[in-house]
Structure 1
Amino acid sequence: MAEEKFNVEEFEKKYVARLEDRTLDWNVLKFQEEVDPKYKRAQMRYIGRGATANADSNVVTAEHFTLSTMVLPAGCVGPLHLHDDVEEVFFILKGSVKALIKEVDKDEVHEIRLNERDCISTPPGVHRGIHNDGDEEALMLVMLGAVKPNLPTYPKGSALEELRIQRAKEREAIIADK
């Protein structure tokens, strides 16, 4: 049997995600913004669909992790959330932000300053968030350590946790269709 010749064009179609083909998705986290306008931010997906399991078909298919960038307008907050199944990495590409870290069942929220090209990796089971407390837009890379991470949870009793419970059924339907 003849060996198939490597086709770089097919490889490129399957494994290359170009900025010129991406669009900022200001709607993927709109449910958070509806709870509080300070949660407004945009995601640009490159590898995989992330924990939101959106229907973006213009991504490199994830095999082991997801990768996206996120635009953080001045003053915005990525709310505290917890992934029970994956670590999450925030890598600051532009700007300066505060990473927010909170242990489960504890009240204190710890703040860790992150500047350009700083990185934080948060293990499963720890609440994490981000706050752009500056006057300029920040940009970060986000990586999740699974192809289809579980939908994150929010602190008990929060408006976002109540909304998450409602949206969990929608997410499962999207995943089932793929």
Structure 2
Amino acid sequence: MSEEKFSVEEFEKKYVARLENRSLDWNVLKFQEEIDPAYKRAQMRYIGRGATANNDSNVITAEHFTLSTMVLPPGCVGPLHLHDDVEEVFFILKGNVKALIQVEAESEIHEIPLGERDCISSPPGVYRGIRNDGDEEALMLVMLGAVKPNLPTYPKGSALEELRIHRAKEREGIINGK
């Protein structure tokens, strides 16, 4: 069996993601913004497609995790959501935010201030979110600990959870030909 010669050019095509080839996706989470304009934010994917699984052919194929950057405008919120299967990491590159943590059995939302180069890892089964109370946009890295995480859920009774349930029923109807 012959070995193929290593090609740095092919390696670069497969494993290097450059900023110049990316754009901010303000639509990936637009369904949340339609519920509340404060949920406006943009994502730029680098590795994997994330929980939304958007068809972005410009990403490095994930083998174990996903990585993206997120822009959170002043006054905006990444709403509370729960991943039942993966941890999620927020690493703050620019700005000051508050991480929002809620244990499902409790009603209290805990706020943890985070600044530049601060990091928080939220384990599976804990509601998490992020809020920018500052006057400048925040920029962060977001990592999820699986190639294709389950879709997140939202707090029971919230408008986002109602929308998720409705969309799931619509999707199931389409799959079943109804």
Q: TM-score range by the shorter chain?
A: over 0.9
CA–CA distance in 1 between the matches of 2:76 and 2:59?
Answer: 26
C-alpha deviation, 1:105, in angstroms: 2.6
Q: Give the TM-score of the pair, scaled to structure 2.
A: 0.93
CA–CA distance in 1 between the matches of 2:8 and 2:168?
Answer: 39
Identity of aligned residues (%): 87
List aligned pairs for 1:120-131, cutoff 5 A.
120-131=120-131
Call closer, same or farther: CA 1:15–1:40 in 2, change over 3 Å. Answer: same
2:33 aligned residue: 33
2:47 aligned residue: 47
The question of 1:86 aligning with 2:86 is answered yes
CA–CA distance in 2 between the matches of 1:117 and 1:170?
Answer: 41
CA–CA distance in 2 between the matches of 1:70 and 1:171?
Answer: 27
C-alpha deviation, 1:56, in angstroms: 1.1
CA–CA distance in 2 between the matches of 1:59 and 1:109?
Answer: 34
The question of 1:19 aligning with 2:19 is answered yes
C-alpha deviation, 1:106, in angstroms: 1.3
Which 4+ residue blocks in structure 1 deviate beyond 4 angstroms?
Answer: 169-172
2:142 aligned partner, one-letter code: V
C-alpha deviation, 1:166, in angstroms: 2.8
2:167 aligned partner, one-letter code: R
CA–CA distance in 1 between the matches of 2:168 and 2:9?
Answer: 38
* Superposition CA RMSD, Å: 1.3
1:105 aligned residue: 105
Call closer, same or farther: CA 1:107–1:25 in 2, change over 3 Å. Answer: same
Where structure 2 has 5 or more consecutive residues not aligned to the other structure, the ranges are: 173-178
1:147 aligned residue: 147
Task: Identify the range of structure 1 (50-59 vs 141-150) with the bigger mean alpha-carbon deviation.
Answer: 50-59
Q: Give the TM-score of the pair, scaled to structure 1.
A: 0.93
